[in-house]
A and B are shown apart, each in its own frame.
Chain A
Amino acid sequence: MTTIPFSRKKRKRTPEERARLWRETRRAWLYIAPAGVVMLIISFFPQIFQLWMAFTDYRIKNLRFNLFDPSTWEKYAPPFVGFDNFVKIITSSLALENYNFARLLTFNVVWTVANVFFHVVIGVAIAMALNEKFLIGRRLYRALFVLPWAIPGLITAVVWHNMYDDRFGAVNQLLAVLNQHIGTHFPTDIKWLIDATPPIGGPLSFLPLAFYAVLIANIWLGWPFMSVVATGALQSIPSELYEAAAIDGANGWQKFWKVTVPLIRPAMVPAIMLGTIWTFNNFNVIYFISGGGPFGRTEILVTQAFKLVYEQRLYGVGAAFSIVVFFILLFITLLQNRLTRATEAYNA
C-alpha cells in the first residue's frame, strides 16, 4: 500500500509493447487467480454485502433474506434507509447505553497511539539490548521473549482478565507479596477492571483504571513483534558505520539518533502502520479482558460493532460501523504515510 509507485508515463505504446503487456497481464492474473477466488468468496463478496447492509435497516427477521433464493426477496428484504445508520452512529443517537461516538473514537485513537508507542519503544530497546556484542544468554532470552507472541491470543486475553480479578487475580496477589517482603503499602483489593474513578485526572480523566490495565496487558502482548522487526533491521546495519561514527567522536546518544534510527526506519515504518491497524481493531484484547467496561468506557469501535450485531441484533447499524472504521483507518494510514514521507531522511 505504501509501496505502490504512481508514476505512469503518458505515451503511446507500440503494438509489441501492448501485446507484451497483455501477455503479462494474463499471466499475472493467472498467478493471482487462486488467492483471488478465495478472497472473492470469503472476503470481497461479504464485504460488498456488508456495504449494502449498511444502507438498510437490517434486523433479525431479515436474516431469512437469501440472495440466491428469489422467493425470499420480497418478503425479507430489509428496507433501504440511506445514510440513516451513519447519521445515527456519528450523532450518537443510537438507543444504546453509554454510547457516545466522539468518546468512542477518542478512546480508540488514544488506545492505539499509546499501545503502538510503547510497543515500538520497548521493542526497539530490547532488540538493541539483545544485539549487543558479547551478551551472555542471548539465545535463551530470544527464545523466552517470543513467548507472548507465540501463545494463542485467546488464551493470553483470558489469562490477563483473570490476573486482574480483585480477589483471585495474580496482580493483587503480587502486590500483597511485595507488601509482605519489602514493606510497601499497596492496596491489595484494587478492582482493576471495574473501578470507574480515573486514576489520572485532568485531560486524562476519561480513561478509567481498566484502560491502564488493558494497556499493560497489550504492551506485554505486542512488543515482541516490534522487537523481532527491529532485530532484523539492526542486524543489517554494518558495524563499520558505528566505528566511523566513533572515530568522528559521536557519543552513544548521537550514534543512536544519527545511525540506528535512520537505518531501522525503513523496516519500522511499515511495521508501525501495520501495528496501528491491528491495534485499532484489536478485538480480542478489549473484548476478553475488560469487555468494554466499566460503563462502556474502554469500548473500541470494533467491540461496539460486535455488540450491536450480537447483543442488539442491529445488523444494519453494525455493518455501517464497519464502514466507518474502514474510513477512519484509511484516513489514519494516509496521514501516517504523509507524515513519514515528509520526514523521510533519505532514499535508500
Chain B
Amino acid sequence: MPEKLKWKDIFKQILLQIFLLAVTATVMFPILWVFSIALDPRNIDKPLELELIPPGASFAAFHRVLFEPYKLLCKNPTDLSTCMTFPLLLKNSLYVSLGTALFTVILGASAAYAFSRFKFIGREAGMIGFVAMLMLPATGTIAPLYVLLSQIKLPGTGEALRTTLLGLMIAYTAGALPFSIWNLKGYFDTVPKELEEAALIDGATPTQTFLRIVLPLSLPALAVTVLLGFMSGWTEFVLAWLLLENPSRFTLPMALRSMQGQFSTPWSDFFALAIVMSIPPVLLFFALQRYIVSGLTVGGVKG
C-alpha cells in the first residue's frame, strides 16, 4: 500500500514538473530574446536567426546606455554637456516613482479607512465616484488637465505645476488611487473590528486606532499599494511627454521612448535600457512577493 502511494506521488511530481517547465519556457522565451539582442553588437540591424548568445556578444550596449549622454534629450542639441545622462534620468524616475508610491499609500489608506469603518453621508456616492474613475478613459481629459495644471503656480519659483515632477507625481497618484482605495478598503474590512473597539474603550482616539492597530495589521495591502504606485510612476510616459518641457526633468521611460526613431531604432541600446529599467520593479516584486498574495483582496472579501 505505501509503495503504491509513493509511485503515484512520483508520477504526479513528474507531470507537474513537465507542466511547470513548459510554462517557464513560455515565460522566459521573450525575456531571453531581449537579452540576446541587448548583447548583440549590430545595434540597428537585427539578427535574422535565433541565438541565445549572438556572435561577437558584448556589453557595449549596456555601457553606452549607462555611461554615455542621451543625444536626443538635450537642452542645447549642439552641446553634449547639456544632455541627459543615465544617473540624472534615474534620479528623476526614482523621485517620481517613490513620491507616487508614498502619496498613493498615505492618501489611499486614509480614504479607504473612512470607507471601511465610518457610516456617513455620501459614503456610497463617494465610493462609486472613486471606482467609476476606473471605467472612464482619460483620453479626452489631457487637454483640460494641461490647462488646469498650467494655472496652478508653485509658490516661490512661480513655475507652473504642470512642468514639474511634483505635478507629474500628483497626476500619477490620482491614476493609482481608485484601485488602491478599492483594494485597501477590501483589506481593512477583514481586520476584526473588536480590536479597535477594545482600544477605544481603553481611551484611544479613532486616529490612534487607525495608525496603531489597523495599519500595522494591513501590511500586505499597504505593500501592494506601494508596489502599484511605484510601478505607475516608473513606467508612464505619455502624460510625461505632454506635460514636461525641460529635458533636465525627463524620466527613464521617456528616454526609452525617445530611442524609438521613426526610421531606425538602436535595438541593442533600446533593449539594454529596457533590461536595466526592469530591474527595480522586478526586485521590488520579489521583495514584496509574500505580501502580494495576501494583500490583493480586490475588495472581494465582504461588504
Residues of A within 8 A of B (CB): 1-6, 21, 24-25, 27-29, 31-32, 34-36, 38-39, 41-47, 49-50, 53-54, 63, 66-68, 126, 129-130, 132, 134-137, 141-156, 158-160, 162-163, 165, 167-168, 170, 173-174, 176-177, 220, 228-229, 231-232, 235, 266-271, 274, 277, 281, 283, 301-302, 305-306, 309, 315, 318-319, 321-322, 325-326, 329-330, 333, 348
Asked if residues A266 and B140 are in contact (CB atoms below 8 Å), the reply is: no
- Report how far A41 CA is from B162 CA in the complex, Å: 12
A220 to B20, CA, bound (A): 14
- Are B134 and A155 touching (Cβ within 8 A)? no
Contacts of A132 in B (CB 8 A): 12, 16
Q: Tell me if A43 and B174 are in contact (CB < 8 A).
A: yes
Q: How many Å from the CB of A185 to the closest CB on chain B?
A: 18
Contact A173 B285 (CB under 8 A): no
* Known contacts A21-B119, A141-B20, A174-B29; 4 further A-B pairs (Cβ under 8 A): A129-B19, A232-B294, A305-B137, A326-B136
CB closest residue in chain A, given B130: A39
B223 interface residue, CB < 8 Å from A?
Answer: no
The answer to whether A144 touches B177 (Cβ under 8 A) is: no
Closest chain A residue, CB of each to CB of B108? A35
10 pairs, A vs B, C-beta closer than 8 Å? A3-B299, A28-B120, A46-B138, A47-B133, A147-B282, A159-B271, A173-B49, A281-B135, A283-B137, A315-B140
In the complex, B26 has a CB within 8 A of chain A? yes
Classify chain B's interface size: 35 or more
List of B residues within 8 angstroms of A152 by Cβ: 231, 234-235, 253, 277-278, 281
CA distance A232 to B214 in the complex (A): 20
Selected contact of B118 from candidates A24, A67, A156, CB within 8 Å: A24
B window 277-299: CB within 8 A of A = 277-278, 281-282, 284-286, 289, 292-294, 296-299
In the complex, B86 has a CB within 8 A of chain A: no
Residues from chain A with a CB closer than 8 A to the CB of B129 are: 44
Contact between chains at B48 and A168 (CB < 8 Å) = yes
| B85 is an interface residue with CB less than 8 A from chain A | no
Q: Is B107 an interface residue, CB under 8 A from the partner?
A: yes
Q: Are B302 and A348 in contact (CB under 8 A)?
A: yes
B241 CB to nearest chain A CB (Å): 11
Contacts of A1 in B (CB 8 A): 127-128, 131, 182, 299
Determine if A146 and B285 form an interchain contact, defined as CB atoms under 8 angstroms apart. Answer: yes
Report Cα–Cα, A314/B275, bound state, in Å: 37
CA distance A267 to B145 in the complex (A): 35
What's the nearest-Cβ distance from chain B to residue A276, in Å? 10
Known: A29-B122, A38-B173, A46-B148. Contact between A134 and B111, CB under 8 A? no
Question: Residue on B with the closest CB to A133?
Answer: B9
Residues of A within 8 A of B95 (CB): none
**Of B133, B138, B140, B151, which one neighbours A53 at CB under 8 angstroms?**
B140
Q: Is the CB–CB distance between B118 and A43 below 8 Å? A: no
Instruction: Report Cα–Cα, A258/B145, bound state, in Å.
Output: 50
- Determine the distance from Cα of A319 to Cα of B141 in the docked complex, in whole angstroms: 8
- Residues in A with CB closer than 8 Å to B179 are 274
Asked if B13 and A135 make an inter-chain contact with CB atoms under 8 angstroms apart, the answer reads yes
Q: Which residues, 26 to 73 on B, are CB-close (under 8 Å) to A?
A: 26-31, 33-34, 46-50
Contact of A35 with B111 in the complex, beta carbons under 8 Å: yes
Knowing A152-B231, A269-B300, say if A45 contacts B148 (CB, 8 Å). Answer: yes
Contact partner of A32 among B126, B128, B294, CB < 8 A?
Answer: B126
Counting from the closest, the 9 A-B pairs by CB-CB distance are A42-B174, A46-B141, A319-B140, A168-B46, A31-B114, A49-B144, A152-B235, A25-B120, A270-B300
Is the pair A306, B139 in contact by a Cβ cutoff of 8 Å? yes
Nearest Cβ on chain A to B124's Cβ, whole angstroms: 5
State whether A170 and B114 are in contact (beta carbons under 8 Å apart), knowing that A141-B20, A151-B281 are contacts in the complex.
no
B174-A49 in contact (CB<8A): no
Per the bound structure, the CA–CA distance linking A281 and B137 in Å amounts to 7
Closest to A308 in B: B139
Contacts of B256 in A (CB 8 A): 154-155
Residues of B close to A277: CB separation below 8 A: 134-135
Asked if A34 and B107 make an inter-chain contact with CB atoms under 8 angstroms apart, the answer reads yes
Q: Does B123 have its Cβ within 8 Å of any Cβ on chain A?
A: yes
Find out whether the CB atom of B30 lies under 8 angstroms from the CB atom of A163.
yes
Q: How far is the CB of A134 from chain B (nearest CB, A)?
A: 7
Q: How far is the CA of A27 from the CA of B115 in the complex (A)?
A: 11
* Residue contact B293 to A4, C-beta cutoff 8 Å: no
